[in-house]
Amino acid sequence: MLRRALALPLRMRVTLLFIVLGLVMSVLFAAMVTFIAERYEHLLVEEMLSSQAEDYTLRLRSEPDAIMPRSTRLSGYVRRKDGSGQVPDALAALPPGVHESLHEDEDGLHMAVFDTDVGRLYFVIDISDIERVERYIHAVLAAVVVLGTLVGAWLGWLLSGVVVGPVRRLADVVEGLPTAPARTGLASGLPGDELGRLAKAIDDYQARLVDARDAERSFFADASHELRTPVAVVRGATELLIEDAAELPALRPRLQRLERGVRQLAELLDALLGLARGRVGASETVALRGWIRDRLAAADATRDGCLQAQVDGHGDPVRTLPVHEAALVLNGIVRRLVPAGIRGQLLAHVGDGEITLEFVARDAAADAAPAAAPGNGDRGLGMTLVGRLATHIGWRLEEDSTRRLVRIHLPADAPAVDPDTRAA
């Protein structure tokens, strides 16, 4: 039961506490009023019958043959010391004191027994009209309990909204925070209570995330700069070796393979450095189909004669792209799509806000090539850095689990524009 209550929303829990509080306070009020009414009734009956006993004691002293009262409300009996006097058996068995009938058909009857110097006096009084008032009071108190509980629920719902409102506003602000770490000042506009402490904890956590991001970027930037120098040395030496191996045809393919690997490593270092900087390079407005055609023509597999690129689509949409980062992403995708040494065709389709790249092999050797891993994301073809760089420039990569196919979803805030439409 407690677990279910704790699983309720915060506003419902506060309202539930107010309902319980209203119920408890109403029940306590009803119990107190009932106790006071019962006690008052008892004292009133005791005082009335005591005064009757005193009056009739004085009268019996002066008039031994005086008649005891007989009415619909009050009846009196006397048992003199000599044993004379008629008293109902039910009364005669009662000890001295004030008693209340326990029979339902005698509701409102009270009996009192007094020992005096003239004998034992018995009185029976009927206060059923007062009992009717008590029943009315009980009904009113039951209504008070119900009304108090409902008022508690209503006040609880209103006040809980006031209490939970700042928490909801803080939650909305936190939900609206960017995915990238950013320093916040949520605690500046809140009091120094528990809510303010929560906002300060969020501010401190965001500050730690920013510091960790800056430290990571600094590390990657330093590592990229340090690695670029030896890579440049290896690349230059490889180019010299290729020139010197003009008379050794057997070494040339191996050196070209080494050159491609060094060039790929340099591109990956560029991607790593771009991610470390956290900034996007200069953007240019390009005709998307022509730009993709030029990028594919410069690919290693195309220059080696293993790959034929075909670019189609409707019109020639124009995009503003960070060309350096976009070229790194496109080169990385092509390298992962096209298996080494496999001849085939790369089909590129330029659509409305989407670029589709698919490799179709021409020989049976493609069966031995590793297939793309299933699922969506940037890891199925091993494109960890490329995928992160694509996300950094606003591209979203989606892989097909059954084919060597990658879809590039371009940012929605940079819609494609057809030159003909733009000229019109």
Contact 375, 402 (CB under 8 A): no
Is residue 260 domain-shared with residue 296, that is, in the same domain?
Answer: no
Task: Among 119, 150, 181, give the residue marking a domain's end.
Answer: 150
- Domain annotation covers residue 98: yes
Is residue 114 domain-shared with residue 26, that is, in the same domain?
Answer: yes
Is residue 268 domain-shared with residue 340, that is, in the same domain?
Answer: no
Is residue 195 domain-shared with residue 287, that is, in the same domain?
Answer: no
Task: Among 255, 279, 303, give the residue marking a domain's end.
Answer: 279
Q: What is the pLDDT of residue 375?
A: 40
Is residue 392 domain-shared with residue 339, that is, in the same domain?
Answer: yes
Is residue 108 domain-shared with residue 144, that is, in the same domain?
Answer: yes
Task: Note down the domain range covering 350.
Answer: 281-423
Is residue 19 domain-shared with residue 126, that is, in the same domain?
Answer: yes
- Domain annotation covers residue 123: yes
CATH of the domain at 274: 1.10.287
**Sequence-separated (6 or more) residues with CB below 8 Å from residue 31:** none
Q: Radius of gyration of the chain from Cα atoms?
A: 48
DSSP H helices in 245-360: 252-277, 288-297, 300-303, 323-337
How many CA atoms, within 13 angstroms, populate the side-chain half-sphere of residue 62? 5
Nearest partner of 164 among 13, 6, 7, judged by Cα: 13
Name the pLDDT band for 9 (thresholds 50, 70, 90): confident
Task: Among 230, 246, 279, give the residue marking a domain's end.
Answer: 279
Q: pLDDT tens digits, residue range 281-310?
A: 778 888 888 888 888 887 776 776 677 888
Contact 397, 331 (CB under 8 A): no
Ramachandran angles phi, psi of 74, nearest 5° = -130, 130
Sequence letter at residue 191: P
Is residue 269 domain-shared with residue 318, that is, in the same domain?
Answer: no
Mean pLDDT, rounded, for 249-265: 77
Nearest partner of 128 among 113, 149, 107, judged by Cα: 107
Instruction: Give yes or no for residue 423 having a pLDDT over 80.
Output: no
Is residue 404 domain-shared with residue 307, that is, in the same domain?
Answer: yes
- Domain annotation covers residue 346: yes
Is residue 58 domain-shared with residue 96, that is, in the same domain?
Answer: yes
Q: pTM of the prediction? A: 0.50
Q: What is the pLDDT of residue 105?
A: 66
Q: Can you tell me whether residue 354 is helix, strand or coil?
A: strand
Mean pLDDT, rounded, for 198-215: 89
Burial class (CB in 10 A: 0-12, 13-18, 19+), 258: middle
Contact 299, 353 (CB under 8 A): no
Number of structural domains in the chain:
3
Helix crossing, 252-277 with 384-392: angle to 10°? 40
- Domain annotation covers residue 183: no
